[in-house]
Each structure stands twice: as structure tokens, then as C-alpha cells.
């Protein structure tokens, strides 16, 4: 039985192992990471000069549907290697989000960004440091905006044309052209789907071409709320505080550049667009103020041992300043869903590639989503540079990228060990301790760019089996 005596015993064990488990930790829940799966033509560390060699896409047309981080990274990386390629990017959004969520630029993520000369340095100018974890934070909107500016400054419009307020309505895979919602037909030699977890292109492949997908929902919804600059006596500029409230499953305060914070919060019940008891902005404000207080702070030992217990709690009452427009926008916004998406391959025939969330999606606990997207994109460009045909290049991309993306998708199921209640905590605790004593703490391994996700998954195979059984009990068919 998991009683007070058990808890005290666990706390004593924690004192013995927690220091060993956290030395050198730089990646975390808010961080993002990329495996180093395989070697190839494109490398990190400052970028590589354009090649004078002809490639499979030289002087050909690529259409990228989705102008988020992975779509823009694909364009920047490919054009750096082969400036003769003509790229057209379509992005539906035209305005920034009032409540954009933040991403952590971990060592792994920066390693991949460094493959494009000057990109990492430009992005770091729009970040704010997260002191408790030693990583810079950037909002998704700032990440996309700075990548867009980077491309516009370095590539002529003849090489990279960006069309905003435009989306894909349908694809003719046989004739190799897409039709936009305004009726424009755009031909392509390669179509890159970077249009997110609800990808129109992937959905059409599933319904018309027998494309297979394993897609589920978790019983969680989430939203993000932007906070203006807070008094230092309330929230420090680099705050990384967890939220605790009866209506919430979890949540965090994250620093935002150039000032202020972003609150990301999760709740259970996939039928509700807001947490229990929240229907107005005043009710949201009341819940947030209560969730940010330290008086009801509880220690989750399994979470602490796994490396997700960092915070800046100081046991005090907090006065919180809000932006009324952000509050109203948050209440009215459509809640995000926590999804699990796994595909057996990331390409179709010799003309379609899927990258980012259109190819793989998972729980954000490990903070690896955007970074995994950059890594699979890096693998795609690498394959396009070394193979003589698109068919061979795309097949190679699928074979290489799925290994690591499947591994991190499976690792994301560790969320069930960290938030699955006392029964799951009792099962997970000894397995986490064992890896720490072996010098293979989960967080330390995620922070090591020389260790691929597939290796980390092998090291946690027993724990992942336990978590998968829990996932299979609780998952919701999409």
C-alpha cells in the first residue's frame, strides 16, 4: 500500500539518487530535442556552403503546404544546399496569436538549426533565458516570424515565394498539382506536407490512397495564456513555476521574450472547451491566481526523480497582473487536443513527403515536438541531396526518419508514469531509479545530442511497456 511510511522511504531514497540523476541537466519539459539519426550530406555546426553538384530537385518546383517552423526550415536548408530549386510556401494564417505558446531551444534543437548558416544566431536574438534549466525560450510565433524574415533577407522571391492567407483545398496526386481555396492550381515536382496534425494532404492520402495512420486522442485539452510583465515580487522574469488547481491536470509558467510570461495549462475531459468552472474571463482569472499560489504545492516524487520537478516555488502569496484582451481570447479560443499520431511511412510515391506534426504527433511532456520535426526535415533534405531519383530519396527518408520519430512517440507515453496516479507511480519508481543508478537518467539522455531517441527507448523498454498498457486502456479513437 502506498501509505505515509512508503512515502518517507521514497524520500530517503530520493536523497541518495536525485543528485546523481540531475547533474548536467539542461533539457526539460519546456525544452525540445533532436536525435542524431545517421549521417549524411547536411551537417550542423554553422551550415555548409551551397553545392555545385546537380541534385534530384535542381531547377524543379517544390510546394510546401504550411509556413510554420518545419516548413520554413525545410526551405532554408534545401535552398542553402541547392539555390536552383524553386520553392512556394502556402500558409493559411495571416495574424499572430494573442496567446502563442513557448518552445525551449535545447542543445539538440540548436544543433539542427545550426545546419543553416546564421539561422540559429538570428533566432537566439528573440529568446529569453530560462535560468532553472539553462535553455533559451522562444514563442512559436516568434520562431516562425524570424524564420520567415531570415528567408526573405537571404533568398530572392524567384527562389522562395511565400503566400500567406492561402491554404490547400485538394491535391491531384496523379497530375501533381494542388488546388487552393481560391481556385488557383499550382503544379509541383515535390509536395511537402507541413500542415500540422490535421494535415489536409495526409487526410486525402488516407481516404483516397489507402495511406495508413495510427491516431488517437488522450483525455486532455490544453490552452495557452499570455501574461504581461509581472512584479518581481510575484513572478521573476525567468519563472518556471508549475500550476496546481483542482480543475487542472497540470501546467507551467514559462518566460516570454522580450518580457512577460506564457502559461500553458491542461485539463482532463475532452468534451469541455475550458476547465471546470471556467466560462468567463473573470473565472479564468480567478482560477489562474489560485493555481499560481504555493500554499497547496504538492511534491510528485516520480516526476521529481524523472527530472520534471524543477520550479521556483518560494512559498508566498502572489499578485498576478493580466491582459484583459488575452484573457478573453483564451476563454473563446478552441482548446488544443493532445494527440498520438504514428505513420508507417512519411512519403507517398515519388512526389509527396510529410514532415513535422503532419507525420508524427505526441504528448508534449518531453518537449520534443518541434525539435523532432526539424530532425525529420533535416533527414528529408539529406536524402534529396544524395539520391538520384525522387522515389529513392523519399523511400530513404521514410526508412531513416521513422526510426527516431517512432521512438520519441513511444517515449512520450512516459506521461502515464508521471501523472497516472499512485498505482502507476509505484510501478514506475523502481525503473526510474534503476536507470539513474546506471547513469542513464532520462532527462540527461535527452540532453545528449549523441544519443538517439531509439537508444533511449531501448533503455526504458520495461517502463514503456507498462506505460503502453495504460495508454491502450485510456486512449480515445480519433
Return the domain boundaries, the chain: 4-30+412-477, 61-216+338-404, 219-336
Q: Which CATH superfamily is domain 61-216+338-404 in?
A: FAD/NAD(P)-binding domain (3.50.50.60)
- The DSSP secondary-structure symbol of 112 reads H
Q: What are the Cα distances from residue 324, in Å, to 265, 282, 321? A: 18, 9, 10
Separation between Cα atoms, residue 403 and residue 316, nearest integer Å: 46
C-alpha grid cell, residue 476: 480515445
Reply yes or no: is the peptide bond before residue 258 cis, omega within 30 of 0: yes
Distance between alpha carbon 305 and the CA centroid of its chain, in Å?
A: 23
Question: What is residue 243's three-state secondary structure?
Answer: coil
* Bridge partner residues of 254 (DSSP): 262
Distance between CA atoms of residues 182 and 185, nearest Å: 9
Whole-angstrom distance, CA of residue 252 vs CA of residue 262: 8
218 CA to centre of own chain: 16
Phi, psi of 373 (to 5 degrees): -60, -40
Rounded to whole angstroms, the Cα distance separating 434 from 426 reads 14
DSSP for 35-90 reads ---S--S---SS--PPP-S--TTTT-EEEEE--SHHHHHHHHHHHHH-TT-EEEEE
Instruction: Give Cβ neighbours of residue 6 (< 8 Å, ≥ 6 apart).
Output: none
Predicted confidence pLDDT, tens digits, the chain (478 residues): 444 444 344 433 433 333 333 333 333 333 333 333 333 455 544 555 565 577 999 999 999 999 999 999 999 999 999 999 999 999 999 888 888 888 889 888 999 999 999 999 999 999 999 887 788 999 999 999 999 999 999 999 899 999 999 999 999 999 999 999 999 999 999 999 999 999 999 999 999 999 999 999 998 999 999 999 998 778 888 888 889 999 999 899 999 999 999 999 999 987 899 999 999 999 999 999 999 987 655 555 444 444 444 445 555 678 899 999 999 999 999 999 999 999 999 999 999 999 999 999 999 888 888 999 999 999 999 999 999 999 999 999 999 999 999 999 999 998 888 776 677 777 777 887 787 788 788 878 888 999 999 999 999 999 999 999 999 999 999 8
Amino acid at each position: 500500500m502506498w501509505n505515509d511510511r512508503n512515502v518517507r522511504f521514497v524520500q530517503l531514497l530520493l536523497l541518495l539518487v536525485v543528485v546523481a540523476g540531475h547533474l548536467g541537466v539542461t533539457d526539460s519539459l519546456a525544452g525540445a530535442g533532436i536525435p542524431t539519426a545517421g549521417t549524411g550530406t547536411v551537417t550542423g555546426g554553422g551550415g555548409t556552403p551551397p553545392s555545385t553538384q546537380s541534385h534530384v530537385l535542381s531547377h524543379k518546383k517544390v510546394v510546401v503546404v504550411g509556413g510554420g517552423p518545419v516548413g520554413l526550415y525545410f526551405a532554408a536548408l534545401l535552398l542553402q544546399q541547392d539555390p536552383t530549386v524553386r520553392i512556394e510556401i502556402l500558409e493559411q494564417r495571416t495574424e499572430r496569436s494573442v496567446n502563442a505558446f513557448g518552445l525551449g531551444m535545447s542543445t539538440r534543437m540548436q544543433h539542427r538549426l545550426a545546419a543553416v548558416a546564421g539561422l540559429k544566431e538570428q533566432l537566439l536574438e528573440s529568446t529569453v533565458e530560462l535560468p532553472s534549466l539553462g535553455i533559451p525560450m522562444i514563442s512559436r510565433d516568434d520562431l516562425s516570424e524570424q524564420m520567415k524574415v531570415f528567408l526573405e533577407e537571404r533568398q530572392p522571391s524567384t527562389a522562395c515565394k511565400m503566400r500567406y492567407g492561402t491554404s490547400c483545398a485538394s491535391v491531384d496526386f496523379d497530375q501533381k498539382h494542388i488546388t487552393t481555396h481560391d481556385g488557383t492550381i499550382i503544379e509541383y515536382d515535390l509536395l511537402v506536407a507541413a500542415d500540422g496534425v490535421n494535415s489536409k494532404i495526409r487526410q486525402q492520402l488516407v481516404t483516397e490512397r489507402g495511406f495508413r495512420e495510427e491516431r488517437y486522442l488522450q483525455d486532455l485539452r490544453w490552452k495557452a495564456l499570455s501574461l504581461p510583465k509581472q512584479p518581481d515580487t510575484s513572478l521573476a522574469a525567468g519563472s518556471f513555476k508549475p500550476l496546481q488547481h483542482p480543475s487542472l491536470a497540470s501546467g507551467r509558467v514559462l518566460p516570454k521574450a522580450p518580457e512577460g510570461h506564457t502559461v500553458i495549462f491542461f485539463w482532463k475531459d475532452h468534451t469541455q472547451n475550458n476547465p471546470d468552472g471556467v466560462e468567463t474571463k473573470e473565472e479564468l482569472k480567478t482560477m489562474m491566481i489560485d493555481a499560481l499560489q504555493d500554499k497547496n504545492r504538492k511534491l510528485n516524487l516520480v516526476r521529481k526523480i524523472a527530472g520534471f520537478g524543477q520550479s521556483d516555488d518560494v512559498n508566498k502569496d502572489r499578485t498576478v497582473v493580466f491582459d484583459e484582451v488575452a484573457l478573453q481570447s483564451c476563454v473563446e479560443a478552441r482548446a488544443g487536443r493532445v494527440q498520438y499520431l504514428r505513420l508507417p511511412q512519411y512519403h507517398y510515391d515519388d512526389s509527396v513527403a510529410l514532415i513535422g506534426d503532419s507525420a508524427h504527433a505526441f504528448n508534449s511532456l518531453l518537449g520534443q515536438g518541434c525539435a523532432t520535426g526539424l530532425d525529420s526535415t533535416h533527414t528529408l533534405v539529406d536524402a534529396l541531396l544524395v539520391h538520384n531519383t525522387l522515389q529513392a530519396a523519399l523511400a530513404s527518408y521514410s526508412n531513416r526518419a521513422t526510426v527516431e520519430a517512432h521512438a520519441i512517440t513511444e517515449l512520450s507515453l512516459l506521461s502515464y508514469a508521471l501523472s497516472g496516479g499512485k498505482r502507476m507511480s509505484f510501478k514506475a519508481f523502481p525503473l526510474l531509479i534503476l536507470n539513474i543508478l546506471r547513469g542513464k537518467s532520462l532527462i540527461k539522455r535527452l540532453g545528449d545530442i549523441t544519443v538517439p531517441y531509439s537508444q533511449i527507448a531501448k533503455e526504458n523498454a520495461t517502463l514503456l511497456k507498462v506505460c503502453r498498457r495504460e495508454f491502450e486502456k485510456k486512449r480515445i479513437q480519433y
